[in-house]
Structure 1
Amino acid sequence: MTTADGDGLLAALRGIVGQSHVLTGEDTTGYCADWTGRFGGPTRAVVRPADTAQVAAVLRTCNDAGVPVVPQGGNTGLVGGGVPRNGELVLSLRRLDTVGALDPHTPSVTVGAGVTAATVQRVAAGHDLALGVDLAARDSATIGGMVATNAGGIHVVAHGSMRQQVLGVEAVLADGTVVRHMTGLAKDNAGPDLAQLLTGSEGILAVITAVILRLVPRPADTAVALIGCDDPAGALAVVAAVRRVRPLAVEVMRAAGIAMVAEHAGVPVPLAPLPAWLVLVEVEGGPTQLEEVVGDRPSAVAQDAADARRLWQLRERHTEAVNARGVPVKLDVTVPLDRLGAFVDRLDAIVPGAISFGHLAEGNLHVNLLGEEATAANEDAVLRLVAEHHGSIASEHGVGVAKVGHLHLTRSAGEVDALHRIRQAMDPAGILNPGVVLPVRRPDR
């Protein structure tokens, strides 16, 4: 079979997954653009396998035909890493939605790549447990995609990113070989860790089909507060104070973003006048845990669960409010906390209209460029500024296609070459997610 033999390829794929699970034409629309609307393109077909065996058969068929494949989960990505660009076949993993038995001793649970974060949280809650990673897109984001991008979310300060949650992995290589290490052991040093290699690899090394997830105790009580600060130094003082209790989340927002959310979503802002910087904190325990954190700063402490949800909306509806203003350039970056103030000063000079918010305890800012500021020149300037401050151009959303051209700013030539060698070893034909993370190399290199 050749790449030109389109009808033969589709017939073979239908024979593997069934007629109704090979989508073409208008039926592929929802799979062809990412959440931002900034990235995407045509696809020859969307293929929806039901299990690992079907994934393996699809990849084997595509590899033999030389057809590039884009693995896709819930399609909540923001950097174009899970959508077609140039007619690639989309491999949707959403039907791999099996939830296995929960092990209360580790504790852990085995799930398919297509299971959503919200589903895992519901299953875990029945055992007074939780998935350590939570994020606003929980109802759509799939576990396979979260592992592939090493998603972080709001609870990294307490539990780490997805890399810290993965105890085992099952995946399929480009040639259809199934690799499986699903012991779920807390300690296992029998060679390099395949799960850690694939976590954050963005689908360029293998297609993740199932994982064992570590679970964490579900807090009996939590307290939430919105705290106003004058500047980054004040916000960092809140971080230092909250680390002395049991923090679950430390989120940062700025006045312009809060005002945008209030206008777009009608969410009331409980602080007036509006402080320049606002820090949303959630800790284990009751409101007394927040007394020293709040101090004499302007604040609103949630009195009940409804109050807490209203405060969280001010943070979680930022992305929705930003996108309502048009297609933004979204830059997910990290800078060392001791450089945050200097970074923000320069950022405000370069793009004064940017909307910035994020996960303060990790120095992770989501910088959104809107309107006339949403240019390639400003994107380049901001990412170079990140590199100048010894940060990372991709914090938790991955490199995707959005930042391939900037990877060299924060990864050395030796590192990039090593990543190319690993990719070449695992996917010699280069069919998995070409153009994502790493620039495509010419065959003679």
Structure 2
Amino acid sequence: MQPFLDECRAVVGDAHVLTDPQAMAGFLTDWTGRWTGHAEAVIRPRTTDEVAAVMRICSSGDVDVCVQGGNTGLVGGSVPPSAAATGRPAVLLSTTRMTDIDDIDTVGRCVGVQAGATIDAIDTHAARSGLMFPIDLASRESATAGGVVATNAGGTRMIRHGNTRAQVLGIEAVLADGRLLRRWSSLVKDNVGYDVPGLLAGSEGTLAVITRVLFALASPPPATTVTVVAIDHVETALDLIGLLRSAGLTIEAAEIMTQAGVDLVHEHGQRRPVSTSAPFYALIEVSGVGEVESEMIDVLERADGIVDAVLEPGPARALWAARENHTEAISRSTTTPVVKLDVSFPLRALPEAFGELSAIEGLVGHPCRAILFGHVGDGNIHVNLLDVPPERTEEITARVFAVVAVNGGSISAEHGIGRAKTAWTHLGRSEVDRTTMRAIKTTLDPQGLLNPGVLFG
């Protein structure tokens, strides 16, 4: 590998080709701790041209490439496979140095960013021009532009603005052979051929290396009010969302938590959002043009099934903390790597799905605690299974996915397939569909160098 690595060093500089095991360790294990891979080196380019040059070297040397942004993924897609998985050497290409953010186009309401720019940095930059980045994640300070596009991330604002694909106006990417693909236009209407940026969104690094993205921006809501309501049934949250919409209010976010989740977060120092315990808690943020708080109070007084409620003007960070601290509290409380399953259901099936998923911990013959939370407005549940013995991971994953299949849901709502879910893609895609996707992969990456083992297994 030495001649290969020397060529890469000539492109990105000696300091940015890491081969020391200690320096590489943080790149080779994912955020959950479940997935650890092997790479000959971690390569950190600074520009698109450097990425293109590295990809040409990898293509010539038949070297696999795993692309990584903030390494906040939850399905093993951002770390390379084990050394023996493909029989070829592999490198990890990190976008951590690619953090440039262009000036805001305030007329076209868009901004160009490099793949390594974080969600928080993009939003902060947009705010200086009176705009906002429509994508928001709990991992906003480390999740990157390239990563959220590659996984087509959703997040808490999806109910209002749509997923990442809906925010992508243009894209710059390097193909597996080093050629540059650039579709870069802020035109609202540009209907020439296939939607290539839309294709790369959700491709999980298997088709090209995303280096820059042209994102649409949005106007922030004039004022918001946040409520957390304690409720006995999931149906109450869905009914409440409908009542708020009927009252002319705009739903900016709609989340759901369970008593087990709120209790766990409280055990780790977060105050409870309301004083009354209940099986479920819905967090809903709304905006409007009138007296938003009084309108929300009126709706809450008319709604059925609410045990307790609290309201605060947005952004209401203390209320949001009860939801956003779930992931950290879960990670600190489990004795084994958390089995994280991101699934979605038709809204009509959501109440039954919650019941079936909550019951799983009592149906398996091994330690297991289920903590459920998610985006109630779009049917997305984050299933977190704690204390599961590693050898039982596939068994309990299959149980969860059986609930998904019976209720007409999806095994991946917003986190992607990665390496974790490849065995179950048939539950959501027909044979013809999967064959079509493989044909696209083979056409753009005939050597199979990009993220081998991700999405297709």
The TM tier, using the shorter chain, reads: over 0.9
Partner SS state of residue 375, structure 1: helix
Return the alpha-carbon distance in structure 1 between the equivalents of residues 23 and 281 of structure 2: 43
- 1:155 is matched with which residue: 157, 163, 166? 157
- 1:287 matched to 2:290? The reply is no
Contact 2:69 2:147 in 1 (8 A): yes
Per the TM alignment, residue 303 of structure 1 is displaced from its structure 2 partner at its CA by 3.6
- 1:255 matched to 2:263? The reply is no
- 1:311 matched to 2:319? The reply is yes
The residue correspondences of 1:22-421 to structure 2 (distance < 5 A) are: 22-24=17-19, 25-87=21-83, 88-244=90-246, 245-264=249-268, 266-285=269-288, 286-295=292-301, 297-304=306-313, 308-326=316-334, 327-352=337-362, 353-372=369-388, 375-421=393-439
RMSD: 1.4
**Deviation by residue 1:381-416 (Cα, 9 ceiling, x = unmatched):** 101210111111001110000000111111111111
Q: Given residue 252 of structure 1, which amino acid in structure 2 is its aligned partner? A: I
When structure 1 is superposed on structure 2, of 180-189 and 428-437 the one drifting more is 180-189
Per the TM alignment, residue 101 of structure 1 is displaced from its structure 2 partner at its CA by 1.7
Contact 1:271 1:298 in 2 (8 A): no
Contact 2:81 2:452 in 1 (8 A): no
Contact 2:273 2:310 in 1 (8 A): no
Per the TM alignment, residue 350 of structure 1 is displaced from its structure 2 partner at its CA by 2.0
Alpha carbons of 1:345 and 1:305: their partners in 2 closer, same or farther (altered >3 Å)? closer
Contact 2:241 2:251 in 1 (8 A): no
Partner SS state of residue 151, structure 1: coil
Alpha carbons of 1:375 and 1:13: their partners in 2 closer, same or farther (altered >3 Å)? same
Alpha carbons of 1:62 and 1:241: their partners in 2 closer, same or farther (altered >3 Å)? same
Per the TM alignment, residue 239 of structure 1 is displaced from its structure 2 partner at its CA by 2.3
Per the TM alignment, residue 95 of structure 1 is displaced from its structure 2 partner at its CA by 1.3
Contact 1:223 1:289 in 2 (8 A): no
Alpha carbons of 1:159 and 1:55: their partners in 2 closer, same or farther (altered >3 Å)? same
Return the alpha-carbon distance in structure 2 between the equivalents of residues 293 and 363 of structure 1: 22
Per the TM alignment, residue 192 of structure 1 is displaced from its structure 2 partner at its CA by 0.7
**Deviation by residue 1:123-150 (Cα, 9 ceiling, x = unmatched):** 1111111011101100000001000000
Contact 2:44 2:97 in 1 (8 A): yes
Partner SS state of residue 118, structure 1: helix
Per the TM alignment, residue 305 of structure 1 is displaced from its structure 2 partner at its CA by 5.5
Partner SS state of residue 243, structure 1: helix
Contact 1:239 1:360 in 2 (8 A): no
Q: Given residue 309 of structure 1, which amino acid in structure 2 is its aligned partner? A: R
Contact 2:134 2:167 in 1 (8 A): yes
User: Which consecutive segments of 4 or more residues in structure 1 shift more than 6 A?
Assistant: none
Q: How many residues align?
A: 432
Per the TM alignment, residue 304 of structure 1 is displaced from its structure 2 partner at its CA by 4.7
Partner SS state of residue 217, structure 1: coil
Return the alpha-carbon distance in structure 1 between the equivalents of residues 108 and 32 of structure 2: 38
Per the TM alignment, residue 349 of structure 1 is displaced from its structure 2 partner at its CA by 2.5
* Structure 1: unaligned runs, 5 residues or longer: 1-5, 440-445
Return the alpha-carbon distance in structure 2 between the equivalents of residues 152 and 163 of structure 1: 9
When structure 1 is superposed on structure 2, of 312-321 and 295-304 the one drifting more is 295-304
Alpha carbons of 1:280 and 1:91: their partners in 2 closer, same or farther (altered >3 Å)? same
Contact 1:117 1:140 in 2 (8 A): yes
Q: Given residue 34 of structure 1, which amino acid in structure 2 is its aligned partner? A: D
Q: Given residue 359 of structure 1, which amino acid in structure 2 is its aligned partner? A: H
When structure 1 is superposed on structure 2, of 275-284 and 427-436 the one drifting more is 275-284
Return the alpha-carbon distance in structure 2 between the equivalents of residues 225 and 273 of structure 1: 14
Return the alpha-carbon distance in structure 2 between the equivalents of residues 430 and 305 of structure 1: 47
Contact 2:226 2:314 in 1 (8 A): no
**Deviation by residue 1:3-37 (Cα, 9 ceiling, x = unmatched):** xxx11111111011000000012111110111111
Indicate the residue corresponding to 1:443 in structure 2: none
Contact 1:150 1:161 in 2 (8 A): yes
- Compute the TM-score of the two structures, normalised by the length of structure 1: 0.94
Per the TM alignment, residue 212 of structure 1 is displaced from its structure 2 partner at its CA by 0.6
Indicate the residue corresponding to 1:20 in structure 2: 15
Indicate the residue corresponding to 2:87 in structure 1: none
Per the TM alignment, residue 94 of structure 1 is displaced from its structure 2 partner at its CA by 1.6
Q: Given residue 339 of structure 1, which amino acid in structure 2 is its aligned partner? A: A
Return the alpha-carbon distance in structure 2 between the equivalents of residues 395 and 303 of structure 1: 29
Return the alpha-carbon distance in structure 2 between the equivalents of residues 242 and 301 of structure 1: 16
